[in-house]
A = this chain, B = another copy of it.
Amino acid sequence: MADALYLEDLHVGQTFTTGSVTVTAEAIKAFARDYDPQPFHLDEAAAEASLFGGLAASGWHTAALSMRLLVDGLPIAGGLIGVGGETTWPRPTRPGDVLTVHIEVTEITPSKSRSDRGMVRTRNETRNQHGEPVQISNLGIVAWRRPVA
């Protein structure tokens, strides 16, 4: 993994690409059983007859997998602490999809009240193996200034 990134190491327009994860039908169903137990996330035949036209991952599964890719691929010093953001799912994640997150730093705001940190906004596009976005998120994360040696 690359060196940990401090606030000073980041700039607007900077991009990162994470590793990838392959999504299986079993993983889609396992997540759905725990967190989103609806027929189109649990059962191929029921999913065929639904709006999705086939088994589709819960959007929250796509979000969780994207977070996993970000944690492994964006080495912010002190960890990746999100304060929230906006998430949309332009198309579903399907069994066999290989997901990668493309990150762009869109805004950096040093904290006015706490001189040791700042807020970094990132635009994160989770794309499948065809380059199509399955999730677009705008996530605010905390970044720390490099400690004085």
B89 touches A87 (CB 8 A): no
The CA of A59 and the CA of B79, in the complex, are separated in Å by 14
Q: List 27 A-B contacts (CB under 8 A).
A: A31-B64, A35-B65, A35-B67, A35-B68, A36-B64, A37-B68, A38-B71, A38-B79, A38-B80, A39-B79, A40-B79, A51-B78, A51-B81, A59-B84, A60-B64, A63-B63, A64-B64, A82-B89, A83-B89, A84-B86, A84-B87, A84-B88, A85-B86, A85-B87, A85-B88, A86-B86, A87-B87
Q: Which residues of A come within 8 Å of B, CB atoms?
A: 31, 34-40, 50-51, 58-60, 63-65, 67-68, 71, 78-89, 142
Bound-state Cα–Cα, A34 to B69, Å: 11
Tell me whether A34 and B64 are in contact in the complex, defined as CB-CB below 8 angstroms, given that A50-B79, A79-B40 are known contacts.
yes
CA gap between A37 and B63 in the complex, in Å: 14
With CB as the reference atom, state the residue of chain B lying closest to A40. Answer: B79
Which B residues are CB-close (under 8 A) to A84?
59, 86-89
